[in-house]
Structure 1
Amino acid sequence: MEKSQSIRAVIIGGGPRGTSVLERLLAHAAAAGRSVRLHIDVVDPFPAGPGHVWQPDQSRLFLMNTQSFYPTLIPQDPSLPAPVAGTTFDQWRLKQRRDPLPALSAGELAELAVLEATDFPSRALYGRYLRSTLDELLGKAPGGITVDFHETSALSVRPAGDGRFDVGLATGAAIHANSVVLALGHIPSRLNPEQRGLQASAAQLGLQYLPPAVPADVDWSRIPAGEPVLVRGMGLNFFDTMGQLTEGRGGKFVSNGSRLDYEPSGQEPLIIAASRRGTPYRAKAALNGYYASSITLRYLTEGAIERLAKTGIRPSFDHDLWPLLHRDALWAYYSTLVRSQPGAVPDAAAFLAALEEALQPHAHSAVNWEDSVESVLAVHVGPRHRLDLPGLAAPLAGRSFASRREHDAAVVEFLLDDARRSALGEDDPVKMAIGALHHGRAVLKTAVADGGITDESWVAGLRGWFESFVEGLASGPPALRAEQLAALARAGVVSFVGPDPKFGVDRKAGVFTAASPWVSGPPAMARTMVEALAPGNRVSANDSPVLAQLLSEGLVRPRLMMTPEGAPIESTGLDVEPHPYRPVAANGSVTEGLFVLGLQLSSAQWGTAIAAEAVQDGSPAYRSGQRTLRDADEIAAAILSRF
């Protein structure tokens, strides 16, 4: 019998994840083989498709952290219902070069004219792709499907007593819906105690404090030219800050042979940068794909994960998973060393055979495998060619500096060496060790999802040390950014505080201060401070009205995890029951028809901030690559199956 009852679904969040749910609803409706009457409401104060982060009118200096070939909004899994429209970003890029949309701006056309598959697009252009794809989807929507967009905020979601929900909007209107999807994406977060203290001091002393924010939301003109500005954080948001305060103010980078120099405009502030490591994230290697093609995981494989699962024992990250990935990183480094630097190891064949034997996971051996590896290295590899894996993430560890000038010179040396290694791509042993970690990260995402490892090792291992370690190595900017930062330091536009900085306020002088215990001299001082950090992704510290309402009324709750000491702590994400992901209420019940997608799943999934990965010819198709799109597909199927 044909179902004719009308279904109404509300998607709260109109960015890429919310748009993915809409796309999957259209795909399932088209594949249903029957008439489906479905009304979809998308609620977001920002235009749907791009959402908050990817607005097409933002500065073109804000670049994506992945190349053109990487992202997609449209799934490529043949087991899922076929999309009604849309392509990957790279396919869209090529199409626009051949037959551009009339709505494309001059800036977009100029970027597309030179943008290649291995280049890093602007976030603005990716936002145009998202908007264009949404328009195409709406134009191909099956009959019986209607969509309304509400450019406002959702303030509340409450069960209505009839199996439905009432969604309250900031306009005062309410939507009565069968299903609600929380695809909230990046939401504001309350400041931590130290940040609140700095903000309060700024208000009292007439200073400027810019808290963590989406970079496109910041009014960079507030930072005065010619004055020092303290910038905390040297991850990806730092490079956005750097770009706005240099090129964004009319400065130019000029190539002088093999060297990049910076010509100031005179409108720049003096940027004084600080981070725990004292250096920025390492730059990405120059590769033709997202994964290094010369690297194939030998130890942390999907087969190894399946074998662990069959034991019936949840693995520990530090004890079971990291040792396998550590082996892969060692093999990637030394096999690349032998291939790219033949003179580094006298008897390469004997060395690789001995190393392979030492790396084998011998289940019944009492010998520490790392000791066995060290024994092999002692025989075959000189100290200059050894891999110091922990040292890669902390290149200045153990060093002291007599002045900030001396420390600045060391950072410039690090940046230029890192950029040189990036240019070597698959021929650099260090970048290939990092490449193995990058491959392994994709396997780990599947291995640790949905309780795949113990709470204790999630808290202390995966999130406790490995996450920041691997992000600093494998999530960095294009190599050009490292060269640009070195040029800015040489030009005197950027200086660095040093590792382990301590921030404070000198009330007598009326300035913010920052000092490193490893760098001698007076502290850095400035009347302006910028937190070059994204707002914290922690649901219990959120500043979202709808999420705060759901938490306060017990319809959702943060997930509790046990520390190694046996104490429960609140994790970053919501407590959910898979699949599809539905939030667990404060009383332990699960509300049917309420779904969660994206960043707020950070306690069930690892690496939720990374977009969906397009399938690339010749590259491994890890299951984690399009997991968000499969999650959206499960939600869409569940919404339609309820009626």
Structure 2
Amino acid sequence: MNTINEGILSTIGRTPLIELKKVCADFPLRLYAKLEMFNPGGSIKDRPASRIILDALENGDLKPGATVIESSSGNMAIGLAQLCRYYDLNLVVVVDPKINRHTLNILKAFGVRIEKVETPDEHGNYLSGRLQRVQDLLDMIPNSYWPNQYANKANPHAHHQTMAEIVESMDNPPDYLFASTSTCGTIMGCAEYVRSQNLHTKMVAVDALGSVIFGSSAAERLVPGHGAGRSSKLLNKDFIDHVVHINDKECVGGCHRLLNKEAILAGGSSGAVIAAVEKLRSQIPDGSSCALILPDNGERYLDTIYNDEWIKAHFEKSECSIAVKGRAQEVEVDAEESDDLQKIAIIGGGPKGMYGFERLAAQFKAHLVEHKVEIHVYNKTAHFGAGDIYQPNQPEYLLMNNPIGDVNMWIDEQPRPVVPEPLSLTEWLQKKKNRTVIEKEYASRALVGEYLEDGFNAIANHLPEGVRGSYFQGEVIDLEKENEDECYSIHVKTARGDVQKMPHQYDQVLLATGHPKNKLTEEEKEYQQFAQQNEGTGFVPFIYPVNSELQEVAAGSSVAVKGIGLTFVDAVLALTEGRGGTFEREGDSLKYVSSGKEPKVMYPFSRSGLPMIPRGPAPQNPTPLKFFTKKAFSRLKADLHGAKLDFKAHILPVLYQEMNVAFYDVQLKKYEYKVDLQDCETYAEIEHHIERFHQQHPDIQRFDPVLFLSHLDGPDFLHADSFHAKIKEYLEFFLAEAKKGELHSPWAAASAVWRKATPVFGDLYAFGGLEPESQAYVDSRFRRLLNRVTFGPPIESSEKILALIKAGMLNFRMAQNPSLQTSEDDHTFVLYSEDLDESVATNYLIDARIANVSIDENQSLLYKNLQQRGLITLFKNEAQNHVYQPGCAAISREGFTVDESGNPNPSIACTGTPTEGVTFDNDALSRNRNNFVSDWAAMVRKSHRVPSPIKS
């Protein structure tokens, strides 16, 4: 058989597809790499170059002897150079200073005329300048042709063949395709083929951080050919299932992992693709097949990505030790890093850690930096700014619990933020996403995560002169005091399980580690063991990330769900909407349309058995509280002469008063009662008018705050089915009231009271302000009652829950405080109600709760190690021989940890969830509530050491 090809151009395409066995060996995925460096020009760009030139020659747009003029960062230029040399065409390529020496030499060898643009735009990028130069040259050079790879439909058409080759090489089409972006020709061509063939393959766009293709802020990028400084004219976002943004460091790290693990020397975009798989791993079901397009070889990057000096200059060598090798390594500190260098570590790169980062940047910009400062941010995942809760790659149906108008990551104080445009979420959606925004609506947590990540990147890109940021992915598990100068080193556990000591010593550390994940209790260990020993049975102790953690729950199974709060809503929607089910609007309600992939029935249960009351939109001008005010409690505390507050005696009665006021203020107006309760000065006056109202309307039921908080807590239902029916009525009623809003529904008005009271109560609660027994009562019981009526899910999510009840997929018949048992005979979990003498058996048990802060119970080693080293102690609320320990670390009023000697440590501060128990309500994205970081950043800046005097 004749295997001789007809000329060099006939070798374009048909590149090999290989299985990657080692680079992500611990991932339960099947990875296949399309090695585009095997094209004759060394990259995937040979494909569109060939298609564009051949089409232009065929249709007469390109004439013999013409001059081709194109803008390129390298690979497209080489592809065109090969085509033009073969067809005796002239070629002019417009490049910029980022082009590497190797590529430049190749182009010169092909006889290409090089035009270099030297002036970047305000973001440090050159694409706009290059394209302008192309237009100028087209005007100057006769018989010239612009391939316009950025908008030429032949570009994506060339990649129909790329995708076809991948599909032909595999037994089945891949479940996911990962492709880097620039012109978007590759991913669009592959996506078009997938759609034309009705394939199930999901398209993952791997974009660069600082690229504007998908609406992010423009920023300087170091890796050429990855991302773009302007939007793509080829892109149809509806064809893309996931977008993963990768920064330059992650590109470098992915390239080195490919080289070290698979012996593949690949270019920067290939490294980005590897990093993207690692980022998206939690969202990909186990066993999935993933095709990865590796665009080019690494020979053209030997002076950059594979050069230690270049890495050190741009990222700092130790910084890339995690990114490049997958583990921290011992690295010598540069000689220039003298005692004058100040290093600050932020442990936890989620929202609260980012707030500290933002205040540090603002402080150092407002005040002269006399010597170098480095801020190092450590985060367990690659989602800096978003953290675990707001990861941008989570499903869109998981909604925020705060309306869009409430979210603003920037604080209104001096000094001002370093970024030129500190946008609220509303402003960001309008400007970056071109969306019409209703501030009372609720955004997805993924979208908010994108907003937060964009804000983090903006801070990182606008650090003041003399301040450098470094960002490390890995779990910090220990702090070690290095010397008497209160400097600390950090021990990091990477995603691959390696534990290494970082080669840095930090003057200040901020702990912002976010939500805990507690160890399994003995009872939960038994459930886990039971599930492992019985086929068709499963136990899910923690639901996040929902796609991977709930994957094992089989279609058609029965499921017990422990907890009926916000996490319950996420779990239920993940098992229904997340599996292809849909909700259709029918009038004022929703109807669920099954996909057939969800469980047959889910049985929620908790102590009360009650779902949370839906949360409606807050009005523009809400009615303020009358009695639950800072001023009123200041007077009360003065009367107590320093004694702690008794929640039941001093606080709860005032809260009940406010609920009565809120309820009847709306109720009386509804019935056109002659007196406005807001005009009353005392609660006695209000009580008087409430009595008068009920005398006039004896048939109207009285509102009782106690029953409101414990509604349905103890009725004697004869049958479980009647409890289920009552829950349906309960949810329907409160949904209707939430839609009316607090200005028109007395029930919604009463629900809103605790939301308004929380900031004042937080001040009363903080630092042991309540008697120990009172704090224990609030933490263990009363808080959940208040949260249930006030901080429930958005209306849309509650409508979905009601639709699932009507569809028979959610059943509350066993919801109220059943016992949980296991049945060895039936291989099931059993919910049993002693009062009803009824039970149900389920295949799966899901724990849909979020753990409280507890250093003793936390899975993380960090706080355990800090405690063992004596760097932190547990907080105790003590008074009159009573002691209560909520489980968090003790901190000073400035937010500094308290060591085993009882002294605040000015080198280690705490913020956010780790302070819960000393402070109250750290879940919100608020910049003002429990704000320790503003004063902390100012303190850090003031402690900025004066440079050592020069010795003569």
Q: What TM-score, normalized to structure 1?
A: 0.86
Distance of 2:372 and 2:425 partners within structure 1: 30
Determine the structure 2 residue equivalent to 1:147.
469
Which of 577, 598, 612 pairs up with 2:912?
598
SS in 2 for 1:493: coil
SS in 2 for 1:209: strand
SS in 2 for 1:578: coil
Distance of 2:530 and 2:823 partners within structure 1: 10
Distance of 1:403 and 1:70 partners within structure 2: 43
Q: Deviations over 1:306-329 (max 9, x none)?
A: 223434333322222222222111
Determine the structure 2 residue equivalent to 1:438.
755
Q: Deviations over 1:519-570 (max 9, x none)?
A: x363121121100111332222111121121112221111122488x44342
Equivalences for 1:628-639 in 2 at 5 Å?
Answer: 628=930, 630-639=931-940
Contact 1:498/1:515 (8 A) holds in 2: no
Amino acid across the alignment from 1:572: G
Post-superposition offset of 1:641: 2.0
SS in 1 for 2:505: strand
Determine the structure 1 residue equivalent to 2:767.
450
Determine the structure 1 residue equivalent to 2:613.
282
Post-superposition offset of 1:213: 4.3
Post-superposition offset of 1:4: 9.7
Which of 862, 868, 888 pairs up with 1:573?
888
Contact 2:568/2:848 (8 A) holds in 1: yes
- 1:641 maps to 2:942: yes
Amino acid across the alignment from 2:873: R
Amino acid across the alignment from 1:561: N
Amino acid across the alignment from 2:912: G
Distance of 1:146 and 1:358 partners within structure 2: 57
Q: Cα–Cα, structure 1 residues 233 and 7, in superposed 2: closer, same or farther, change >3 Å?
A: same
Distance of 1:437 and 1:168 partners within structure 2: 42
Determine the structure 2 residue equivalent to 1:627.
929
Amino acid across the alignment from 1:201: F
> Which stretch shifts more, 181-190 or 194-203?
194-203
SS in 1 for 2:604: strand
Determine the structure 1 residue equivalent to 2:410.
74
Post-superposition offset of 1:339: 1.0
Q: Cα–Cα, structure 1 residues 511 and 358, in superposed 2: closer, same or farther, change >3 Å?
A: same
Determine the structure 1 residue equivalent to 2:456.
134
Determine the structure 1 residue equivalent to 2:89.
none
Contact 1:421/1:430 (8 A) holds in 2: yes
Amino acid across the alignment from 2:514: G
Distance of 2:879 and 2:843 partners within structure 1: 40
Post-superposition offset of 1:91: 1.9
Post-superposition offset of 1:469: 1.5
Equivalences for 1:527-566 in 2 at 5 Å?
Answer: 527-562=843-878, 566=881
Determine the structure 2 residue equivalent to 1:345.
none
Distance of 2:394 and 2:923 partners within structure 1: 20
> Which stretch shifts more, 33-42 or 298-307?
33-42
Distance of 2:714 and 2:515 partners within structure 1: 36
Determine the structure 1 residue equivalent to 2:922.
608
- 1:11 maps to 2:11: no
- 1:179 maps to 2:508: yes
Determine the structure 2 residue equivalent to 1:364.
none
Amino acid across the alignment from 1:597: T
- 1:245 maps to 2:245: no
Which of 50, 64, 67 pairs up with 2:386?
50
Post-superposition offset of 1:25: 0.5
Post-superposition offset of 1:340: 2.0
Larger radius of gyration: 2
- 1:30 maps to 2:365: yes
Contact 1:404/1:521 (8 A) holds in 2: no
Q: Cα–Cα, structure 1 residues 376 and 453, in superposed 2: closer, same or farther, change >3 Å?
A: farther
- 1:202 maps to 2:551: no
Determine the structure 1 residue equivalent to 2:191.
none
Equivalences for 1:394-409 in 2 at 5 Å?
Answer: 394-409=710-725
Equivalences for 1:97-246 in 2 at 5 Å?
Answer: 97-98=433-434, 113=435, 116-161=438-483, 162-170=485-493, 171-174=499-502, 175-206=504-535, 207-216=537-546, 218-246=548-576
Contact 1:456/1:562 (8 A) holds in 2: no
Contact 1:11/1:42 (8 A) holds in 2: yes
- 1:475 maps to 2:791: yes
Contact 2:610/2:727 (8 A) holds in 1: yes
Determine the structure 1 residue equivalent to 2:284.
none
Determine the structure 2 residue equivalent to 1:429.
746
Measured on the aligned residues, the alpha-carbon RMSD in Å equals 2.5
Distance of 1:448 and 1:202 partners within structure 2: 41
Q: Cα–Cα, structure 1 residues 401 and 588, in superposed 2: closer, same or farther, change >3 Å?
A: same
Contact 2:392/2:449 (8 A) holds in 1: yes
SS in 2 for 1:543: coil
Distance of 1:127 and 1:178 partners within structure 2: 30
Q: Cα–Cα, structure 1 residues 481 and 19, in superposed 2: closer, same or farther, change >3 Å?
A: same
Contact 1:308/1:315 (8 A) holds in 2: no
Distance of 1:226 and 1:253 partners within structure 2: 19
Contact 1:335/1:352 (8 A) holds in 2: yes
Contact 2:351/2:387 (8 A) holds in 1: yes
Q: Deviations over 1:215-251 (max 9, x none)?
A: 4474322110111011111100011011111111111
Distance of 1:34 and 1:156 partners within structure 2: 30
Amino acid across the alignment from 1:627: R
Post-superposition offset of 1:377: 6.8
SS in 1 for 2:433: helix
Q: Cα–Cα, structure 1 residues 554 and 325, in superposed 2: closer, same or farther, change >3 Å?
A: same
Determine the structure 1 residue equivalent to 2:802.
486
Equivalences for 1:263-278 in 2 at 5 Å?
Answer: 263-269=593-599, 270-278=601-609
Contact 1:393/1:469 (8 A) holds in 2: yes
Aligned length: 591
Post-superposition offset of 1:287: 2.8
Q: What TM-score, normalized to structure 2?
A: 0.59
Q: Deviations over 1:575-633 (max 9, x none)?
A: 11121x111122323323111111111122111122216xxxxxxxxxxxx134x3111
Q: Deviations over 1:186-225 (max 9, x none)?
A: 1321123332332233233343110034344743221101
Q: Cα–Cα, structure 1 residues 237 and 532, in superposed 2: closer, same or farther, change >3 Å?
A: same
Contact 1:396/1:499 (8 A) holds in 2: no
Q: Cα–Cα, structure 1 residues 376 and 573, in superposed 2: closer, same or farther, change >3 Å?
A: farther
Query: Where does the alignment leave 5 or more consecutive residues of structure 2 unmatched?
Result: 1-337, 494-498, 946-952
Q: Which has the higher contact order (CA 8 A, sep 6+)?
A: 1
Distance of 2:915 and 2:549 partners within structure 1: 31
SS in 1 for 2:583: strand
- 1:392 maps to 2:714: no
Q: Cα–Cα, structure 1 residues 90 and 588, in superposed 2: closer, same or farther, change >3 Å?
A: same
Distance of 1:182 and 1:315 partners within structure 2: 29
> Which stretch shifts more, 521-530 or 303-312?
303-312
Distance of 1:356 and 1:201 partners within structure 2: 61
Contact 1:456/1:561 (8 A) holds in 2: no
SS in 2 for 1:154: strand
- 1:91 maps to 2:388: no
SS in 1 for 2:838: coil
Contact 1:215/1:237 (8 A) holds in 2: no
